[in-house]
Amino acid sequence: MTTEPAPAPSGVPWRHDLVSGLLTAALGAAVVLHVRTFPELPDGQPGPALFPGIVGGLLVLFGLVLVVRAVLARGEPAADPDAGVTARGWLRALAVLGLVVGYLLLAETLGFLLTMGVLLFLLMWTLGARPLIAVLAAAVTTGFIFVVFEELLLVPLPEGLLG
Amino acid sequence: MGDLATALGMLADPTLVVAVLASAVYGLFIGAIPGLSATLATALLVPFVFFLDPLPAIAAVITMSAMAIFAGDLPSALVRMPGTPASAAYTEDAYLQTRSGHGSRALGVALLGSVIGGIVGAVVLMVAAPLLAEFALLFTSYEYFWVAVLGLAASVIISEGSQVKGAISLLIGLLLSTVGIDIALGYARFTFGSVDLLQGISFIPAMIGLFGLSEVLRAALRPSGPVEVVRLRTQGMFRETVRTLRRYWRGMVSGNAIGSVIGALPGAGGDIAAWVSYAATKRASKEGHLFGKGEGHVEPIVSAGSANNAALASAYVPMLVFGIPGDTITAILLGVLLVKGVQPGPELFNSDAPMLYGVYLIFIIANLLLVPLGYLAIRGSAWLLRVPPSVLMPVIVAFCVVGSFSINNGYLEIIIMLVLGVLGYLLERSGFPLAPVVLGLVLGPIVEKNFMQSVIKTNWDLTQFLTRPISALLLVVTVVVLLYPLLRRLVRTLRSG
C-alpha cells in the first residue's frame, strides 16, 4: 500500500468552515425565533411553524457541528477556494452580475431590445471580445431571443421607449 | 399493445420531433463546452419546454441530457478539460489517449459506450419502474412521507464531500421551500410583506440561478486561456471501437450495472456513477496501474463512459414511481412537471400507460440518435471548442434573465434567479454540494404536505407513522441509510483492529 495523504475533511480552510457554520447557526436561530410569531392550529397543535421550526433547529445543530469540526481540523492542509482568482476575475464576475442588475433597473424604461442589446455588448466587450464581434453577437443574440420569446412563445417582453 | 401504438402516435407529433432534434443539437453544444454542465443545459432548456405538453417536454430533456453527457467527453479528449462533471473521472485517460494517437478510438468508445449505457439504463427503467409502481400503489400519505424523507436522507449520505455540509445544503433547500402560503392554515411564511412571494420561491428561476448563473460566475472568475485542440483522424474509427468494446466487455457490464444502481439513488447522478465505476474498474483490471498515466488507458472510458449514461436513464425510476428525483436533471424535470400539473407516481403506471411507453421509446430513440449526431460532433469538435467564452458567457446570462422572466412575466423571478445564482456560487465555493438544495426545494412541500395531512386526519396519532407495515419498513431503511457512514466506519475499525 502506498501512503496517500488523507484529504482535508471538506477541502476548504477551517476558517471558511468556521464562518459557514456560524452563519448557518445564526440563520437557523433567526428562523426559530421568527416562526414563534406564526399562528397555531385551532386545537392548539403546531401548524405553519412546525416544519420551518424543525428545519431552523436542525440548521442551528448542523451549523454548530460544522463549527466544532472546523475548530478540530485547525492546522490541517486545505486548498484555498479562491486560488487562481485575480482582480480581473472579480471584475468579470461583477460585470456578469452587472448585466442582470442593469436589466432589472433599465428594462421597463428602455425596453428589452435596447437594454439587452447594449448590456450584452458591454459585457462581451468587458470579457475581452473584440468590439466588432461584440456588436454583431449582441445584436444577433438580442434579435434571436426577441423572435423566440416574443413571437414564438408569446412572452410579453418589456417594450419601453421603443414600444 | 394498443398503448404502444398510441405512444408511437404521440411521438409522431411534429412539435415533439422538432423539440427532440433542436434539444439534441443544443445538448451536444452545451455538453462540449468545458464548464457548462448538463444540469445547466437542463435549467436553461426549461423556459422553452415549459411551453410544451408534458411528453414533448420530457422528450426534449431526455434527448438533450443524453447528448450533453456524451459531448462532455469531447473536450476531455481534445483539451484535457471535462465538458461536464460526469466526464471528469476519465478526462486524464481520454486526453493521454488522444496525445498518443488513439483519440478517435477513445471518442468512438465514449460514443458507443454512451449509447449502450443509455439503452441499458432505459431497459432497467422499463423493468424496475412498473414492478416498484405495483408496490407503491399500496402507499398512503404516511408512506409518501417516509419515501420523501428517505430520499432526503440518501441525498445527504451520498453527497460529495462532507455530509454535514450536505445536510446544511438540504436544510437550506427545505427552508426555501417553506416560503409562501402554508398548507395547514394558509398563513404567509417568510414573505416579508411581498404579495408576489405568497406563491413561494418559483422553482424554475431558482434552478436557472443555482445551476446557470452560478456556473457563469465561476467561469468568469477563472478565465481559461486560448485552448490548443489536438487534431483527430476518424478513419476506421467504428471498426476499432467495436473491437475495443469486445475486448473490454467486462468493464462495459460493470459500468452499466454501477451506473444503473447509482443513478436510481436520489441525489446521485452521472458524475458520481462515473467516479465509482472508474474506481471499480481500476481495482478489477489487470492493467489498472496504467490508468491515468503515460498513454492513458481506454478501459476506464469503456466502463465509466457508459456508467454516466446508464445513470442518466435509471434516475427516472424513483422520479416516475415515487416522485423522488434520482439526480439534479430529473429534479428539475420533476419541478417542471409539478408546475404543469403532472404528478408522477404509481397511478401514472395505471392511468397513463401511453405516456410511459412514450418515455421509454424516447430513451431508445434519443440514444440511437446519438450515434449519427455524436459522430458528427466528433468530426466538428475542433470547431465546437473554438467558440470564445467572452461571447458565450454573456449569451448564457441573457438566456438566464429572459428565461426566468418568461415563467411568470415578472421581475421577481429575475431577482430570485440572481439571488440564488450568487448563493449557489458561494455554497459551492465553500464546499457545500448543490444537489441536496434542489432535492430539498422539490421534496420539502411533499414531506410537509403528507405529514400534515396524516396528522390532521388522525388527530395527531403519531404512532401511525411507525406501526403501519410499509411505514415501519421505510422507517427502518431510512435509519439504516442515515447510520450507514457510522456503520462503515465501525466495520473498518473492527477489521483493521
Q: Which residues on chain B are in Cβ contact (under 8 Å) with A91?
A: none
Cell readout for B303 is: 466502463
Provide the residue-wise pLDDT of chain B in tens; the chain has 497 residues.
578 888 888 888 999 999 999 999 999 999 998 878 899 999 999 988 888 888 999 999 999 999 999 999 998 888 888 888 899 899 999 999 988 888 889 999 999 999 999 999 999 999 999 999 998 888 888 888 888 888 888 888 876 668 899 999 999 999 999 999 888 888 899 988 888 888 888 888 999 999 999 989 988 887 766 566 777 777 788 888 999 999 999 999 999 999 999 998 887 888 889 999 998 998 888 888 888 888 889 999 999 999 999 999 999 999 999 888 888 899 999 988 888 888 888 888 888 888 889 999 999 999 999 999 999 999 888 787 788 888 999 999 999 999 999 988 889 999 999 999 999 999 988 989 888 898 899 888 888 988 888 888 888 888 888 888 888 888 888 888 888 777 777 887 877 75
Q: State which residue of chain B sits closest to A49, comparing Cα positions.
A: B189
**pLDDT score recorded for residue A3:** 34
pTM of the model: 0.88
Quick check: B398 and A9 CB within 8 A?
no
Quick check: B401 and A99 CB within 8 A?
yes
Q: Are the beta carbons of B87 and B73 closer than 8 angstroms? A: yes
Give the one of A65, A88, A124 whose C-beta lies nearest to B394's C-beta. A124
Cell readout for B464 is: 401511525
Q: Which residues on chain B are in Cβ contact (under 8 Å) with A99?
A: 394, 397-398, 401
Quick check: A52 and B189 CB within 8 A?
yes
Q: Which candidate in B15, B162, B164 is best for mutational testing of the A interface (most A CBs within 10 A)?
A: B164
8-state DSSP, B138 = T
Give the one of A10, A39, A148 whose C-beta lies nearest to B185's C-beta. A39
Which is higher by pLDDT, B153 or A139?
A: A139
Total Cβ atoms within 10 A of residue A77: 10
Q: What is the per-residue pLDDT across B455-485, written as a single tens digit (0 to 9) for each?
A: 888 888 888 888 888 888 888 888 888 887 7
Quick check: B398 and A145 CB within 8 A?
yes
Shortest distance, CA A153 to any CA of chain B (angstroms): 7
Cell readout for A118 is: 447594449
**pLDDT score recorded for residue B1:** 58
**pLDDT score recorded for residue B497:** 56
**pLDDT score recorded for residue A66:** 94
Shortest distance, CA A75 to any CA of chain B (angstroms): 17
Cell readout for A115 is: 437594454
Q: Which residues on chain B are in Cβ contact (under 8 Å) with A107?
A: 411
Integer angstrom CA distances of residue B233 from B98, B111, B239, B314, B382: 10, 15, 13, 34, 12
Shortest distance, CA A23 to any CA of chain B (angstroms): 11
Q: Which residues on chain A are in Cβ contact (under 8 Å) with B171?
A: 28, 55, 58-59, 62
Phi, then psi, of B102 in degrees rounded to 5? -105, 25
**pLDDT score recorded for residue A1:** 33
Q: Are the beta carbons of A100 and B403 closer than 8 angstroms? A: no
CB pairs below 8 Å between A and B: how many? 181
Q: Are the beta carbons of B438 and B173 closer than 8 angstroms? A: yes
**pLDDT score recorded for residue A97:** 96
Shortest distance, CA B432 to any CA of chain A (angstroms): 9
| DSSP collapsed to 3 states, A72-106 | HCCCCCCCCCCCCCCHHHHHHHHHHHHHHHHHHHH
Q: Which amino acid is at B173?
A: G
* CA angle B317–B320–B322, rounded 5-degree value: 90
**pLDDT score recorded for residue B295:** 86
> Looking at the DSSP assignment, which residues form a beta bridge with residue B37?
none
Rounded CA Rg of chain B? 22
Closest CA to B158 of B436, B474, B490, B429: B436
d(CA B245, CA B252): 7
Quick check: B398 and A85 CB within 8 A?
no
Quickly state the pLDDT bin for A73 (edges 50, 70, 90): confident
Element containing residue B189 per DSSP (H, E): strand B188-189
Cell readout for B261 is: 444502481
Q: State which residue of chain B sits closest to A141, comparing Cα positions.
A: B395
- The chain-wide mean pLDDT, for chain A, equals 87
**pLDDT score recorded for residue A9:** 41
Cell 485552448 -> residue: B227
Q: Sort strands B180-181 and B188-189 into parallel, antiparallel or unpaired.
A: antiparallel
3-state secondary structure of B83: coil
d(CA B340, CA B267): 23
Q: Which residues on chain A are in Cβ contact (under 8 Å) with B418?
A: 97, 100-101, 104
Q: How many helices (DSSP H) and strands (DSSP E) are in chain A? A: 5, 0
Domain boundaries along the sequence of chain A: 13-73, 87-162
d(CA B288, CA B283): 7
3-state secondary structure of A20: helix
CA torsion sign for B230, B234, B239, B245 is: positive
- Say if residue A59's pLDDT is above 80: yes
Q: State which residue of chain B sits closest to A95, comparing Cα positions.
A: B220
Element containing residue B27 per DSSP (H, E): helix B14-32
Q: State which residue of chain B sits closest to A150, comparing Cα positions.
A: B406
Q: Which residues on chain A are in Cβ contact (under 8 Å) with B417?
A: 100
Closest CA to B298 of B112, B96, B119: B96
Q: What is the per-residue pLDDT across B400-458, written as a single tens digit (0 to 9) for each?
A: 999 999 988 889 999 999 999 999 999 988 989 888 898 899 888 888 988 888 888 88
Q: Are the beta carbons of B259 and B311 closer than 8 angstroms? A: yes
Cell readout for B210 is: 443555482
User: Which residues have CB under 8 Å from A43's CB, separation 6+?
Assistant: none
Question: Is B477 exposed, middle or buried (CB count within 10 Å of its CB: 0-12, 13-18, 19+)?
Answer: middle
Question: For chain A, first and last CA: distance in Å?
Answer: 72
Q: How many helices (DSSP H) and strands (DSSP E) are in chain B? A: 25, 2
Q: Which residues on chain B are in Cβ contact (under 8 Å) with A116?
A: 398, 401-402
Give the one of B168, B175, B222 whose C-beta lies nearest to A31's C-beta. B175
Shortest distance, CA A96 to any CA of chain B (angstroms): 7
Quick check: A149 and B406 CB within 8 A?
yes
Quick check: B406 and A39 CB within 8 A?
no
Quick check: B51 and A153 CB within 8 A?
yes
Shortest distance, CA B418 to any CA of chain A (angstroms): 7
CA torsion sign for A21, A27, A29, A32 is: negative
Closest CA to B306 of B353, B245, B236: B245
Give the one of B397, B430, B455 whose C-beta lies nearest to A99's C-beta. B397
d(CA B14, CA A76): 59
User: Which residues have CB under 8 Å from A35's CB, separation 6+?
Assistant: A48, A49, A52, A53, A56, B189
CA torsion sign for B455, B460, B461, B467 is: positive
